[in-house]
Amino acid sequence: MSETKTYTGSCHCGTVTYEADADLSQVISCNCSICRKRGLLLAFVPEGAFRLTAGEETLTDYTFNKGVIHHLFCSKCGVGSFSRGTGPDGGKTVAINVRCLDDVDLDGLNIRKFDGANL
């Protein structure tokens, strides 16, 4: 059963903070090169459901391959708590690193594996 809830999240040092209206009933564990190395658990939200509340000036942008996903990370602590890109429907989307959300029980999540390495 899907349920959208407002979550808060941040990087490790707390410089980058945000709010997101997200449904964590479907969390993705991707095996592509960057997700695997960063240990990401991802939830996707439309751009309008994401609000960066602090730290925009400290974000550093990293892109690779086709350059369509902007992997943003805090230049102070190095943690990437979210990325920006375009969804399959063409709409702007934000991929949230669920590990960076406050008060989320990771053991209680339904995690679906995604084979991004073979796209």
> Is 118 inside any structural domain?
no
- CATH of residue 65's domain is 2.170.150.70
Reported pTM: 0.91
Tens digits of pLDDT across the chain (119 residues): 579 999 999 999 999 999 999 999 989 999 999 999 999 999 999 999 999 999 999 999 999 888 889 999 999 999 999 999 998 889 999 999 999 999 999 999 999 999 988 88
Instruction: Determine the pLDDT at residue 74.
Output: 98
> Is 102 inside any structural domain?
yes
Cβ atoms of residues 96 and 42 within 8 Å: yes
Instruction: Determine the pLDDT at residue 65.
Output: 84
CA 100 to each of CA 12, 77, 95: distance values in angstroms, whole numbers, following the listed order = 8, 13, 12
Cβ atoms of residues 73 and 90 within 8 Å: no
> Is 9 inside any structural domain?
yes
Residue with the two structure tokens 């989307």:
93
> Is 105 inside any structural domain?
yes
Instruction: Determine the pLDDT at residue 5.
Output: 96
**Total domain count for the chain?**
1
**What is the distance between the alpha carbons of residues 18 and 72, in angstroms, rounded to a whole number?**
13
> Is 101 inside any structural domain?
yes
**What is the distance between the alpha carbons of residues 56 and 41, in angstroms, rounded to a whole number?**
22
Per the structure, the complete domain to which residue 43 belongs is given by 4-113
101 closest CA partner among 1, 20, 6, 9: 9
Residue with the two structure tokens 């350059």:
67
**What is the distance between the alpha carbons of residues 67 and 62, in angstroms, rounded to a whole number?**
9
